[in-house]
C-alpha cells in the first residue's frame, strides 16, 4: 500500500519510522506546509519522499498527524478522495472532529487516538518505538465500512498497538482527566514558578518532583491550545473538580488538621494499585 502522512512531527515522523519496519507499506509519502520540516524529515529518513497534497490524496491510506483544528480544515480538502482511500486521524480529541467530517468521506474516516507521546515536538523528536506496546482508541467505528476499519486495525496492530473501541463523547471525557487536565496543571505550575523564582534558583533546586510535574509544560502550546479549545466543556469541569481537591488540601493545612490530611493523601495513593 502507498501511505501518506500529513504532519511530520513527533507523531507523524514516528509513524513513518514504525511503518518502515512492516511489510504493509510499499511507499511512505510525507507532507507538511513547512519546507524546513520537510527537509528535516527527509534527512532523518522519517518518510521515503516528500509529496504534494494532491499526491497524498491518491494514497491508499492517509494519516492526519496534525493539530486537531487543522485536522478539521484538512478533512474538508479531502472530500473528493476515492471511496477506497482510508483516512485516519491521530488527534487527542474525537467528538468535535467526527462532527465535522464531510458526509462524503465518513465511511472512509477512522477516528483514532494513539495513547502515546512525549513533551517533545518536531521531526527530530520522532522515534520508531513510540507506538509500540501502547493503546490506540478507535471511536464511533459503526459508521465505517469494513474495508477502512480492517485496514486501520491491520496498520496499528503491525506497529505493536492494542486497539480499544470507545464512543467519541466517552473518549473525550476520559482523555480530559488522564491527559488534558495534567497538561493544564503542568502549564499552571510552570507559570507560577516562573513568576516567583529566578532561573538560577530553578536550575539549582528543582528536583524530581518539580521536573516530573513540569515536564508536560514543554509540550507544543500551538497543539495544546487547540486541544483545550475542542474539549473545552470537559476541561472546565475537570479543572473545577481539581480546584475542589486543592481547596480541601489548603483548608486542612490552614486548620492544622494533619490527621485528615494524611488520610486524604492515603486515599490518593490507591491510584498506584490501578497504575
The pLDDT of residue 203 is 64
Residues 73 and 180 in one domain: no
**For the chain, how many structural domains are there in total?**
2
Residues 190 and 224 in one domain: yes
The pLDDT of residue 236 is 98
Residues 232 and 98 in one domain: no
The pLDDT of residue 162 is 97
The pLDDT of residue 116 is 94
CATH number assigned to the domain comprising residue 234: 1.10.3660.10
Per the structure, the complete domain to which residue 64 belongs is given by 2-166
CA 241 – CA 247 distance, rounded (Å): 10
The pLDDT of residue 275 is 65
CATH number assigned to the domain comprising residue 23: 3.40.50.720
Residues 194 and 83 in one domain: no
Residues 138 and 215 in one domain: no
Residues 51 and 146 in one domain: yes
The pLDDT of residue 199 is 66
Q: Spell out, as residue ranges, where the chain has pLDDT lower than 70.
A: 197, 199, 203, 206-207, 275
Last residue of a domain, one of 166, 191, 209: 166
Residues 9 and 141 in one domain: yes
Residue-wise burial string across 51-68, b where 16 or more C-beta atoms lie within 10 A, e elsewhere = beeeebbebbbbbbbbbb
Last residue of a domain, one of 166, 183, 210: 166
CA 157 – CA 54 distance, rounded (Å): 28
For 58, 141, 205, 214, the CA distances from 209, given in Å and listed in that order, are 48, 40, 11, 9
Angle, in degrees to the nearest 10, between helices 221-230 and 68-76: 70
A 10 A CB-CB count for 237 gives 14
Residues 13 and 141 in one domain: yes
Q: Virtual CA dihedral for 173, 174, 178, 179, nearest 10 degrees?
A: -50
Amino acid at each position: 500500500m502507498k501511505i501518506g502522512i500529513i504532519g511530520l512531527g513527533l507523531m507523524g515522523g514516528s509513524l513513518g519510522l514504525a511503518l518502515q519496519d512492516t511489510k504493509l507499506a510499499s511507499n511512505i509519502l510525507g507532507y507538511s506546509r513547512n519546507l524546513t520540516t520537510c527537509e528535516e524529515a527527509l534527512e532523518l529518513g522519517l518518510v521515503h519522499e516528500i509529496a504534494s497534497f494532491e499526491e497524498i490524496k491518491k494514497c491508499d491510506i492517509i494519516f492526519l498527524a496534525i493539530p486537531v483544528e487543522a485536522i478539521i480544515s484538512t478533512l474538508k480538502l479531502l472530500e473528493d478522495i476515492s471511496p477506497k482511500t482510508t483516512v485516519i486521524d491521530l488527534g487527542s480529541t474525537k467528538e468535535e472532529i467526527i462532527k465535522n467530517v464531510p458526509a462524503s468521506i465518513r465511511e472512509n474516516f477512522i477516528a483514532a487516538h494513539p495513547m502515546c507521546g512525549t513533551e517533545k515536538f518536531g521531526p527530530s523528536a520522532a522515534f520508531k518505538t513510540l507506538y509500540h506496546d501502547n493503546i490506540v482508541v478507535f471511536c464511533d467505528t459503526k459508521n465505517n465500512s469494513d474495508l477502512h476499519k480492517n485496514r486501520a486495525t491491520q496498520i496499528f496492530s503491525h506497529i505493536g498497538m492494542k486497539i480499544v473501541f470507545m464512543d467519541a463523547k466517552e473518549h473525550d471525557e476520559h482523555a480530559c482527566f488522564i491527559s488534558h487536565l495534567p497538561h493544564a496543571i503542568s502549564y499552571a505550575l510552570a507559570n507560577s514558578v516562573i513568576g516567583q523564582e529566578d532561573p538560577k534558583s530553578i536550575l539549582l533546586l528543582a528536583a524530581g518532583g518539580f521536573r516530573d510535574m513540569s515536564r508536560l509544560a514543554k509540550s507544543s502550546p500551538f497543539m495544546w491550545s487547540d486541544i483545550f479549545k475542542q474539549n473545552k466543556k470537559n476541561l472546565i469541569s475537570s479543572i473545577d473538580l481539581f480546584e475542589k481537591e486543592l481547596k480541601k488540601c489548603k483548608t486542612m493545612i490552614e486548620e492544622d488538621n494533619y490527621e485528615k490530611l494524611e488520610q486524604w493523601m492515603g486515599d490518593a495513593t490507591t491510584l498506584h494499585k490501578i497504575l
